Structure 1
């Protein structure tokens, strides 16, 4: 007997606005409206990422203005209060004017960038508001392509992601530029360079501090380890005093452990310190950066594709899926899906339906199940057709056993 469970309709949710759901037409079928509402609950990342990128650009432009204006005001004060000759004062003021002109160009460029990012936020809002029951199929297709591009970007398939986005005309709906920004840091870490990652930490210092991130500390530790590996101990000590000592109040134990490598060195066989010199430490830094990057932009830590697949698999997962005679039509009959669903709980099912192994049709009171002498169950329609074609003989498709149609017993569904 093959059982195929009915999902409850549960899905992963995220705390996002579902204002676009209000734009759905009231004449649409309730089932489609409900489906649309569930879709919109999962669009948190779709709106959050461009908004965070927009805010980051505004903050960067603000910092540039503050820095440049501080220098200009200080320069004017020096000219006004200093005992300078007329020519020197004019030359000094001219240099400040050139600096202000440079600031103007930077602000014009920054303004264009802000405008483009604001347009992207608006395009995404419009896309969500355009969703209704009539164009649900087309809208869902676009959504699927967005999810695939997100997966490709996270897996570092940048060229493929860009080609799919361009061919599908969804460049405004995906975050290629954001991931390309992360790519520079990831490539550098894979090449055992920490400078771009440290620059990224400095650029986002306030937000990383607010989230109590220790990523910068881990980068500093790795840089110290590389100095010890190169047996440049004096430089390592100087580096530790300047960059690691400020972290002592909050990360003393880790700091003490790393400082001990000065005595053990990179050739040590002591497991506690040997692990610090292993190449996998760089892989750990890459993974940690990806997590910090996702948190910064409000992204899910897992690819959206995995989340959606797990949401669907959690509704389909039952103990029967892991039996040897699980139907090949069940997604969980495939090893890759079983692996993805492994940490998920079994689905809570209130109702089940019986599906015939032969015809794949529902077995109910109109097409009741019949039990063969070997215990396998098939639909009345399937066995009657088989008996007609084989002079009353029935062959069990699973075991190959042959029976007379008169031997089957009717099963009753309670």
Structure 2
């Protein structure tokens, strides 16, 4: 209501202002018009101006501009007088009635005001205020506190984290007591900064090392050829002389030996080879520095369940069809029972796949028929697609009647959901003798077999409760992508290994390809942290989601209700339910 009243007052002022403005323009235009007429008459007349001026005065008195303007201005003034009162009514400037008459401690108030200036980085203003307040000692103490902060902030603007790192290191214990991971987060930024710069520098260093090896190799190669050519040349000369001479070869051989000693091939080659060896020794060290093979510092020390790990490895071999390797592994792992169970599962799959390679669909058709209901529950049309291949295979042989008979026998049950595809297959019957030249030639493509083979593998694994991709392959591939940034981080965080190993999440973000992203990730909007098993996402009664720790903190561990930061609805923590993605 007060805002509406204030708006009405403002509208009245605006309206009266507009009326006054229009009236002023109207009267002014009338006066200008009368004066212009009088001037025009006086310019065209030779008589004195007295009569014209008297006439002008008379007309202006008739216009009575002051009287006309007075009314509009008066109404505007009344509106302007009322508007501040309306403002004052809404925004009462008199705050004296809202506080008690308390005697404040002036030095403390001065320090609070100065602290505000220093917090904003307004050190000169703060100094001036404190000086005028005659509290110079407090100024020095407070300024030094906040100057250190702003030095760190200014340094961070230019991406210099050294001051912040020093401060965090000096206050490490206090930060831990407060449950803050600030020190790690600053190290995180420094790590990313080094990674951005270091990757390029390391690549250049590695390239320089390789170039040195290549250069020394080239020098050694050239020197070897040069010395070899010289030796061959001397030997060829000696042979030529000996062939044209009837004397004994002793003198020529002695001369050849002397010349070869002068050439000193070993001494000439030794220097170049030595430099090459030095470069070759240094290059692996440079490689090791960039591609550090020691991954122990980048993983947590977790005790694995050996039988499960063995089954995962064996399962990988069986998935690849390496049954002998899998059997050998399981036998050496002394887990023969698991070997029999796992082998039998995947042997059936590979029997079907091997048969399909030779264009035999019978095993696949039998398996699909036996699992028809389960495939339908999964929304898979695999059975129809196998029948599709079999139908085209029969038609390719030129047996139209047999293909039609096969279609009548096997396609009827799929007509309800796949009529369009069945009609397309029936259209093939018209081109049975020239299918490769027909509009349905794409049905002969070998890729159709590859697609069905992949779908068969996928559905087979699905019905077994197994993933399509080998868990071992996915784990290793994801690890290959994730290890480099972790190794880089640990190189920066020397001696800090145990600091992040106790965490429930990685110390740095690791970007993996979409193929390794198997589920959604929830980040709590309150703490800005990713949910974990110990801190899962919780659905509140209002429909919004927070992490469990945030709910516990806001509800004082369930002792009171709290308001949802979105709605805000009153939330009872006991009614929150865990979400599982």
Q: TM-score range by the shorter chain?
A: 0.3 to 0.5
TM-score by length of 2: 0.31
- Point out which structure has higher relative CO (alpha carbons under 8 A, 6+ apart): 1
TM-score by length of 1: 0.42
The structure carrying a bigger helix percent of its residues is 2
